[in-house]
Every structure is written in structure tokens, then in C-alpha cells.
Amino acid sequence: MRPGQRRKLQALGAMALFLLASCATGTGGNASTASSAPSAPRNESRIPLLSRLFFHHSSPAPAPVTPPPVKAVSTPPPVPAPRGLFSNIPDDPSIQLYMDYFEYAQHRQFKKWLERSHEFLPTIRATFRQEGLPEDLAYLSLIESGFSSRAYSRSGAAGLWQFMRGTGIKYGLQVNWWIDQRRDPVLATRSAALYLKDLHEEFGSWALALAAYNAGEGRVANAVARTGTKDYWKIRQTRAFSRETRNYVPKFIAAMRIAKDPAKYGFTDLDYHSPVTLRQEVLHHSVEIRRLSRAMNMSVLEFLTYNPQFIRWATPPKIKDVSVNVPSTFPADLASRLASLPPSGINPDVPVYRVESGDSLWSIAHRFHTTVADLVAANRLESRRLRLRQKLVIPREHRHGSSRRGAVLARNRHLSSPKGSRGWLDHRIRPGDSLYRLAHHYRTSVRDIIALNHIPPRRTLRVGDHIMIPVR
């Protein structure tokens, strides 16, 4: 054998040994990868050496397999939210910030809100369910008013859902001097459901709908147009929203999570209010609040607990049908009892009078043919000092005065009286009374009153004194 042939055979043998070693350790991988993913054993001794040499020599080497690049993730994946409310909730640090705020800094106040929530949640959830809304939206009242139907804000929002006056009227609520239905837990909840539904239809996401509930539709629409996206969490990273609106949805999510599992966040000693189920009865005329409460066998304070929308001493005089909330456990004949109540003494033609310069209770009472005492009672005045442009309710003139006067006249007819009169009646001096007012009210003259009572000149009438009024 020639030396050149010997060198070729040696080279072929070295190559064969190298290829056999590669087959033993796997194709294209390192030893650790092969050991972690073992393959089926092969019987290399049955394959002829030349076949193995020519096979490995003629076949191209397998391409190296490189793993896909791993992208760095700065935030954890989104946490799934309640179905139908949010598609996902990112792990935003402001959510945890508000959870810590409610749990520690505002623990006592948030506890009161949670305890009040059970009084309204059944009614709110039922209303939202009827309107096809996610029931978790009921917790929106938690951050709006703390589930207080009497809540007022500095900006003028009122009630469980903190409606502004214009929005409340737009969604069917009566807001005037007599009544504020933004505080009605039943009617305001229905209006809130309609408003939230409209917002969701306009913006297509509950996060933007909640932002619009806080800031208004116009501001959210402008923010979407400026940023070119409808993703609340992306808009939140810009300055298109105010600080309050940027934090509104995280605040809601934090409050909702705590309310759904309060014990997990340290609220373990909650004394929940009993849930109240209400139904509505309709009044077709104005009725005094005290008569309504008496017909329902409850105190005025208890009646106003169910009906915080009434802010005066009677129901509105010019609204044809007014809803009154009553517990659902009340008997069905309550409607007939309420319908039989007498109308209030409100003058529907002059329901409210605005105080002008120079007015007094006496001059106003004289102008509208009523009494100072009735004005004080109708307006629940604690002071008789009037303010300029103050609003006063004008009660109706008492129609039963003549019959009462006739009864007293019959009782006193046998007593002595001035010449030409048929008798007299006793009158107790009240604040605002004067000889002129008494003479005008009882259709007599100042001279006859002075003669009957022997009143000296320039004597003033004192509250509580009794005076005889001649009746002709």
C-alpha cells in the first residue's frame, strides 16, 4: 500500500470515529439537552461501517436549533376581573395604593360605608340586573357617597349616585325647592342604571364609562380623540385626564375588591344594616309629611329615612304624581289610606315667595291672608329674622276659621259685648299680631277692639295675653 493511500484511509477512519461520536451524543445538541430529552436507542452495530461512513459523509449537517428570543416583561400578566365588567385589570400600583388607603388610613370611615351597603345592595343589584348591567357596578355608590342617600358634595352633587342637577333632570328626576329625587334611593338608582348604560354604549368599555361618569362625556370623548385610543389604561398614562379621573377607576376597583372580601383586608367586626325592600305608592295631591307618617304608623324621622327626597314640610303642590317609598311588608290597602288624606295647606298659585327689602313676617302674612304662626310652621323657621331673597312657603288661608269663629261666638253670645255686636271671642296674642291685623282678620274695627278691652293709648300687645274680639 502506498503512503498516500495509507494517509487517506487514516483520514477516513478519523472522520468515521468523529461521526460515530456525534451519533452517540445526539444531533446538533449538547449533552445536557440530550439527557433531558432522551430518544429511542439505536443499534449501531447492525449498520455496516462503510454505509455509516457514506451516509454521514453525503448528508448535510442538521441546522442548529435556536430557542425563540425571550422578551423582558416589566409587569405581571393582567389579573382576570369579574366577567362582564372589565376584560382585564393590569397590576397598576395605584390600585394597591387605594386598597392600603381604605384598609389603614380610612379604616373607620370605610367600615361605616361597608355596614351601610347591605341596606341598599339588594335593591341596586336587582335594578342593575333588570337593566342588563353587571351587578358589580353597585359598588360604584361606595366611592361616590358611601351608600348615603343624604350625601351632598361641594360641587352640588347629591344622593347615592351623586347626580348633578342637570344630569338628574335629564334622566327623569325632579329637582326643585320642594323635592330632590336625586336622594330617592329607588328612582335615583334607576336613573343611574340608565345613565351607565348610555355611557357604555357610547364608549364601548366600562372603564371609559366610569371615567365619563366622573368627568363627563365631553371630557372623555376629547381625551379619546387626543390620544387616538379607547384603552383607559393607556389614556391614563397621558395628561388627557385630570388627576381625579386618572385615579377614579383604580379607586373603584380597590373598593370593590375590599367590599367583596372584607375579612381579607382587616374588616372583621362589621355590623351590617338590615336590607330594606321598598315599593312605591303614588300621591295625586300635596300632603303634609306629618300626615303621611301618621298614616304609615311611623315617626316623621322614620318616614324621611325611607323618603329623603322630601326636603320641605309637605309633598310638592304642582307635581301631579309623586312617588312615596314604603316598606314592601306594608299592607296593600295603604294606597287607599294615602289617597284619602286631606290636601296640605299650600297655595298652589303662590307656592314660594322671595323676601324683598322691607319685608317682615307680618307684612308677608298680611299680603297673602295668612298668619305669622302659619308662616313659621310652614317654613320651620328657627329665627324670625328674614334674609334678603330668602324663599318662604306661603300656606293656604284657613278655610275652617269661620266655623271655628262661629263656634266660639255661640259659646260667648250670652256675655256682655259692645253695642251693636252679636258677641265676642277670645284670642291669644301670637307673634306678629297687631290691632290692625286682628281687626282685618276678624272683620271688625280697631276702635271696637279698643273699646271692648279698654286698651290705653300706645299700649303694645304682648305675646301670650288674651284679648276679646267683637263679632258683628
* Burial call 147-164: b when 16+ CB within 10 Å, e when fewer: bbbebeeeeebbbbbbbb
Q: What's the CA gap between 166 and 340, in Å, rounded?
A: 35
Q: Could you count the other beta carbons within 10 Å of the beta carbon of residue 248?
A: 23
Residue 426 near residue 408, CB atoms below 8 Å: yes
Grid cell locating 465: 295675653
| C-alpha dist (Å) from residue 139 to 81, 106, 252, 386 | 14, 17, 8, 43
Q: Which residues of the chain have pLDDT under 70?
A: 1-84, 345-351, 396-424, 426, 454, 456-459, 471-472
The pLDDT assigned to 432 comes to 82
Cβ burial 43-68 (10 Å sphere, 16+ → b, else e): eeeeeeeeeebeebeeeeeeeeeeee
Q: Are 346 and 368 in contact (CB under 8 A)?
A: no
Determine the pLDDT at residue 324.
Answer: 96
- Fold of the domain built from segment(s) 352-393: Membrane-bound Lytic Murein Transglycosylase D; Chain A (3.10.350)
Architecture of domain 93-265: Orthogonal Bundle (1.10)
User: Out of 3.60.21.10, 1.10.600.10, 3.20.20.450, 3.10.350.10, which CATH number does the structure's domain 401-471 have?
Assistant: 3.10.350.10
pLDDT at position 460 is 75
pLDDT for res 392: 86
- The pLDDT of residue 84 is 62
Q: Reduce the secondary structure of the chain to three states and give it as a string.
A: CCHHHHHHHHHHHHHHHHHHHHHHHCCCCCHHHHHHCCCCCCCHHHCCHHHHHHHHHHCCCCCCCCCCCCCCCCCCCCECCCCCCCCCECCCHHHHHHHHHHHHHCHHHHHHHHHHHHHHHHHHHHHHHHCCCCHHHHHHHHHHCCCCCCCECCCCCECCCCECHHHHHHCCCCECCCEEHHHCHHHHHHHHHHHHHHHHHHHCCHHHHHHHHHHCHHHHHHHHHHHCCCCHHHHCCCCCCCHHHHHHHHHHHHHHHHHHCHHHHCCCCCCCCCCCCEEEEEECCCCEHHHHHHHCCCCHHHHHHHCCCECCCECCCCCCCEEEEEECCCCCCHHHHHHCCCCCCECCCCCEEECCCCCCHHHHHHHCCCCHHHHHHHHCCCCCCCCCCCEEECECCCCCHHHHHHHHHHHHCCCCCCCCCCEEEEEECCCCCCHHHHHHHCCCCHHHHHHHHCCCCCCCCCCCCEEEEEEC
The one-letter amino acid code at 287 reads V
Segment 428-459, tens digit of pLDDT: 788 888 888 888 887 788 888 877 776 766 66
How far from chain centre, in Å, is Cα 191?
A: 10
Instruction: Tell me how far the alpha carbon of residue 33 is from its chain's centroid.
Output: 62
Residue located via cell numbers 395604593: 97
CA atoms of 259 and 265, how far apart (whole Å): 9
Tell me if the pTM is above 0.85: no
**Do residues 183 and 150 make contact, with C-beta atoms less than 8 angstroms apart?**
yes
CB atoms within 10 A of CB 96: 13
C-alpha distances in Å from residue 220, one per residue of 205, 227, 237, 465 = 12, 11, 14, 67
pLDDT value at residue 431: 84
Question: What is the model's pLDDT at position 32?
Answer: 37
Q: Can you give the pLDDT at residue 350?
A: 56
C-alpha cell at 195: 345613565
CB 286 within 8 A of CB 317: yes
